[in-house]
C-alpha cells in the first residue's frame, strides 16, 4: 500500500534535487523513498555535510591540542556523573566553562 507524504522545502533545493535525480535516471520520489528506507532500517542520517576544509582543519587542530593537554596532565578526567554535575554547576553559575576560542 502506498502513502503520500507532503513536505515543504526551498524551491531551489527541490529544483536542484530534481535535476540531479534526472541526471541519474531517477525521479525525486525514488531518491526520497531510498532515503526513507535507509532511515527506517537505522542507517545514519546526514543533516549537513557542508563543512569547509578550514573548519575540518580547525577541528583536527583542536583535537590534537586536547590530546596534548590530556597527555601533559592539563585536563581533568571526569566520570559521566562528575561531568554532568560540572555542566549543572556551569549552568547554575557555580562553575566556569573554558572560554571559546576563535
pLDDT band at 34 (very low <50, low <70, confident <90, very high): very high
Mean pLDDT rounded to a whole number for the chain: 84
Q: What is the pLDDT of residue 53?
A: 79
Residues 44 and 73 in one domain: no
Does some domain include residue 72? yes
Question: pTM higher than 0.75 for the full model?
Answer: no
| Residue 37 shares a structural domain with residue 68 | no
101 located within any domain: no
Q: What is the dihedral of CA 9, 44, 22, 32, to 10 degrees?
A: -50
77 HSE (CA, 13 A, CB side) = 6
Structure confidence at residue 28 (pLDDT): 94
**Residue range(s) defining the domain that contains residue 15:** 1-48
Tens-place pLDDT, residues 58-92: 888 988 998 898 889 888 778 888 888 888 888 88
**Residues 74, 38 within the same domain:** no
Query: Do residues 66 and 87 share a domain?
Result: yes
Domain annotation covers residue 38 = yes
Q: Look at residue 99 and tell me if it is in a domain.
A: no
Amino acid at each position: 500500500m502506498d502513502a503520500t507524504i507532503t513536505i515543504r522545502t526551498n524551491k531551489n533545493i527541490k529544483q536542484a534535487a530534481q535535476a540531479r535525480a534526472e541526471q541519474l535516471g531517477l525521479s525525486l520520489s525514488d531518491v526520497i523513498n531510498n532515503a526513507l528506507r535507509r532511515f527506517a532500517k537505522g542507517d545514519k542520517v546526514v543533516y549537513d555535510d557542508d563543512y569547509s576544509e578550514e573548519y575540518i582543519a580547525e577541528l583536527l587542530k583542536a583535537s590534537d591540542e586536547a590530546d596534548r593537554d590530556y597527555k601533559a596532565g592539563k585536563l581533568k578526567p571526569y566520570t559521566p556523573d562528575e561531568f554532568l554535575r560540572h555542566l549543572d554547576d556551569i549552568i547554575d553559575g557555580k562553575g566556569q566553562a573554558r572560554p571559546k576560542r576563535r
